[in-house]
Every structure is written in structure tokens, then in C-alpha cells.
Amino acid sequence: MQIKNWKEALNLISLELTYQEYNTWINQIQYESSDEKSITVSVKSKLVKDIITERYLKIILEKLAEINDKEIKINIIVKPQTERKSTKKAKAVSKETKLDPRHNIFNLKYVFEKFVVGDSNDLAAAAAKKIADYPGKYWNPFFVYGGVGLGKTHLLHAIGHTVIDKYPEKKILYITGESFMNDYITSIQKGIMNSFRLKYRNADLLLIDDVHSIQGKEGTMEELFHTFNTVYAAKKQMVFTSDRPPKELKKLEDRLRSRFEWGLTADIQPPNFEMRESILRRKVQEESYKVPDSVIRYIAESFSWNIRELESALYKLFAYQDLVHEEITLDLAKRALKDMISVMSVDDISIDLIQKKVANYYNISYSDMKSKKRSKNIAFPRQIAMFLARRLTEFSTTEIGNEFGGKDHSTVIHAISKINQKYENDETFRIKVEKLTSAIKENH
């Protein structure tokens, strides 16, 4: 059997015990290993083992059999604290093992306690918290937008977790824009639109992630429009996330776009240096690694436009350290992250220099960078320049917008997110961007 089955069994067990019992006893059990017919778990003392065996063995075996469709043997071993993997890690896991199995719809790590709040996301975070505490009471809908990897999904899941805990009776529906569309299409094909409608329109809390992806999909937009109206009229809470603000969802029907603006719209901006540092510190604390300040600073300086990148750099460093068993030092970090960091020591690069270099590379004039022209051959290099400005300088998206002929910061965010996506998915493009980056740095 797989560890996944064990977790599923825990969920079923949790449904039948009180929170107290589950937390005091079941949560102490640590998964060790398993094969086809049996599972080995550990607890930290004989006493715990005896109590679990006496009171809970029956239900554990029952649930394991249920999930695996056959009898599974369980072997409980006693492992004193020091021998168990990392106590810190074990603690983190047990905290995440929540009572209500619906928590598993969401990423268990995406909770409010783990969301670092700073200038770039304070409105979005505060509003999300309020909505989670009092769904349906404040703004409807709540619309969060921002670039890739900045915490939109994290906030959405945090709302879900909180509502499950605070209002267990509420029906929660979480879906991405894309899955909503697929569900819609399948329901039409199967001729079960009634149950589709019932499902969405009955939700007390409707969470739709990345709603921008339904742009231009006629039928889906229409269906969401009607869903919106029903849920809204019933005063049930809706939360949407998107990579751009409603007014820039150009291919959305007007009536749907205007509804998205009925409630509260909040953006998440890329984090500034201090915030990147505190995010890293928080993540280091959560795992049990020792990371010196110089290394935190180094990572915070090198990964400046996306929290997911920041995180993966840190995890890569941890993985590297586990492999080489050396103390984490600046030198080790540089070695571990050398593939990820192509940009180093880039103090004081000006936006002006970036604009000139990019204009030159794409054969457009420098003044086009600041113009309002929207033809693709100009808009695209301009977006790349915005992306590089964010990546290579410390300017905020508002400041960057100003340098591009007074563009709104949401335009800049959209540009960065668009280019970032292409950068991540398109190898040839990535090489081009890296070349441009080196050219800018050389001139500096």
C-alpha cells in the first residue's frame, strides 16, 4: 500500500473520533514504511503504543482494509524521540493533519499562518482573512489578481481551510477556471446540465482559481454568468483569482467583467527585498535547516520577481545540502544554485539602459518604449523590457510603469506575468532573454 492510502485512512479515522482523541493519540503515529500487505508505523513510547493498540487498533485496521480493499497488517514499533526523523518536521506534519478530510481538497500548506504579509499583498491578505472569517458578509465577489507565483492560490486555499474549520456546515466548491470549463463541456456531452448547475449554484462558498482562462470561451462564460447571478442573489460568497484585473480581461463578456468588479478587487504585487527576506526566513524556520543571513540575502537578491522561484531556490539548496552534508554557507549556496542564477551582482542597472538595449535588440526606437503604440512588434519588446526591469532592478511595478510613459502598474504586472510564462515554457525565448540580460550587465 502507499503512503497516500495511509493518509486517506487517517482522514476517515478522524471523522469518527473527537478532535481531542485524534490530536492526542492518532497524531502521534508516524508512518515508516509499507508493502503490499502490511504497514509499519512508529510511536515514541510503549505507553502510547499500548493505548493506541487498545483503543484505536480496531478502527485503524478497519479503515485500512476499507481503503485498500483487503486486510492490511499493521506493525507498530516504538522509536524514542531522538530516533524519529526530524522532530520539527514531524511536528509540522502533525499540525497539517487536520480533522476534516475536506482540507485535502486544498494544499495543506496554503494556510493563513504560513502566508507572509507585506506591502505587496497586505490588502489582498487582510480582505481574504475577513472573508474567510465571515463569508458572505463583506465583499461579493472578492477578486484577487497578480502575476504568476505570487500567492493567489495560496490565499484562495487559506480561505477554504478557514471556512472548513469555522463553518463546517458550509458547502465549499473549489475549482480552477479551466476545470470549470471542462466540467461544463462534459456535462453538456453527457446531458447532465441540471446536476452541473445544481452543484455550482448550491455552493455556500465558490472559489474559482485562475478565472482568466475562461476568456473567449462563449458557453463557459455564459454559464459562469448565470452561476454568478444565482450565487450572488443567495448572498453566498464568491472568490476569484486571475492573472490580471477584470478590466483587462479583454475577451470576457462585458456583463461578466462588470460583475467581477461589484465587490472588492485586490492585487498582489511582486515582493520587495525585505519581504523576500522574511518569506525565506519563514520557510527556513518551517524546515529545520540552519541558513546564515548572508545566504538568505543572496537568495533574496537573486530571485526577485516570483515567490515560487524564491521557494524552489531554497528547497534546491536544502536538497543539495542533504546530498553533500556540508554546512550551508554562501559558497555552498552559490554552488547549489548556479544553474538557477544567471543574474548576479546587478546593482544600479537603470531602466533606461534596459530600454535602450532591448529596443536595440528588437530594432525599434528608444522612444517606442515609452509610447502608447500597441502594435505587437513594439508592445512585445516593451513587455520584455518591463520584465527585465523588474528582474534586474529594485524598482516597484508602479515606478517601472512611470518609466514606460506612465503605464499603470497593473499593465506592468500583466507584462511581467506574460513574459515570465513564456520564459518558463519556451526554451528558445529563455535563451534570448538570458543573452539580453548578459548584454545589459556587460554594459553596466
Q: Closest distance between ligand ADP and the C-beta of residue 120, in Å? A: 8
Which of the listed partners (ligand ADP, Mg ion, none) does 355 bind, with a CB threshold of 5 to 8 Å by partner kind?
none
The answer to whether the bond into 141 is cis (omega within 30° of 0) is: yes
Place of cell 448572498: 235
Choose which of 128, 238, 307, 386 interacts with ligand ADP (CB under 6 A): 307
Count of residues in contact with ligand ADP, rule CB under 6 A:
17
Q: Which residues pair with 242 in a beta bridge?
A: 145
- Give the DSSP H/E element, type plus range, for residue 209: strand 205-209
Residue 151 interacts with ligand ADP (CB under 6 A)? yes
Q: Closest distance between ligand ADP and the C-beta of residue 371, in Å? A: 30
Interatomic CA distance for residues 141 and 259, integer angstroms: 8
User: Residue 239: what residue type?
Assistant: V
Interatomic CA distance for residues 37 and 72, integer angstroms: 5
Residue 287 interacts with ligand ADP (CB under 6 A)? no
Residue 116 interacts with ligand ADP (CB under 6 A)? yes
Q: Closest distance between Mg ion and the C-beta of residue 395, in Å? A: 25
Interatomic CA distance for residues 30 and 41, integer angstroms: 5
Interatomic CA distance for residues 274 and 373, integer angstroms: 35
- By CB under 5 A, the residues from 321 to 380 that bind Mg ion are none
Who's near 295: CB < 8 A, 6+ residues apart? 317, 328, 329, 330, 332, 333
Choose which of 43, 181, 279, 313 interacts with ligand ADP (CB under 6 A): 279
Choose which of 6, 22, 56, 115 interacts with ligand ADP (CB under 6 A): 115
Q: Closest distance between ligand ADP and the C-beta of residue 271, in Å? A: 7
Residue 153 interacts with ligand ADP (CB under 6 A)? yes
Query: By CB under 6 A, which span of 11-19, 107-115, 390-398, 423-431 interacts with ligand ADP?
Result: 107-115
Query: By CB under 6 A, which span of 147-155, 176-184, 360-368, 379-387 interacts with ligand ADP?
Result: 147-155
Which of the listed partners (ligand ADP, Mg ion, none) does 124 bind, with a CB threshold of 5 to 8 Å by partner kind?
none
Which of the listed partners (Mg ion, ligand ADP, none) does 130 bind, with a CB threshold of 5 to 8 Å by partner kind?
none
The count of other CB atoms within 10 Å of the CB of residue 358 is 26
Who's near 297: CB < 8 A, 6+ residues apart? 277
Sheet of 73-78: strands edge to edge?
30-34, 38-43, 73-78
Residue 213 interacts with Mg ion (CB under 5 A)? no
Choose which of 63, 103, 152, 244 interacts with ligand ADP (CB under 6 A): 152
- By CB under 5 A, the residues from 124 to 153 that bind Mg ion are 152-153
Binding mask 148-187 for Mg ion (x = CB under 5 A): ----xx----------------------------------
Q: Are strands 38-43 and 30-34 parallel, antiparallel or unpaired?
A: antiparallel
Q: Helix, strand, coil: what percent of the chain each, to 5?
A: 60, 10, 30
User: Residue 70: what residue type?
Assistant: K
Residue 42 interacts with ligand ADP (CB under 6 A)? no
Residue 154 interacts with ligand ADP (CB under 6 A)? yes
Q: Which residues pair with 205 in a beta bridge?
A: 172, 237
Q: Closer to Mg ion by CB, 44 or 152: give it.
A: 152
State CA 59 to chain mean position distance. 35
Residue 148 interacts with ligand ADP (CB under 6 A)? yes
64-100 burial, b at 16+ Cβ within 10 Å, e below that, comes to beebbeeebebebeeeeeeeeeeeeebebeeeebbbe
Q: Closest distance between ligand ADP and the C-beta of residue 104, in Å? A: 17
Residue 245 interacts with ligand ADP (CB under 6 A)? no
Which of the listed partners (ligand ADP, Mg ion, none) does 381 bind, with a CB threshold of 5 to 8 Å by partner kind?
none
State CA 7 to chain mean position distance. 22
Choose which of 129, 308, 356, 441 interacts with ligand ADP (CB under 6 A): 308
Q: Closer to Mg ion by CB, 140 or 153: give it.
A: 153
Q: How many helices (H) and strands (E) does the chain have?
A: 21, 8
The CA dihedral of 304, 127, 241, 379, to the nearest 10 degrees, is -50
Which of the listed partners (Mg ion, ligand ADP, none) does 150 bind, with a CB threshold of 5 to 8 Å by partner kind?
ligand ADP
Q: Residues interacting with ligand ADP, by CB under 6 A?
A: 110, 114-116, 121, 146, 148-154, 279, 307-308, 311
Q: Residues interacting with Mg ion, by CB under 5 A?
A: 152-153
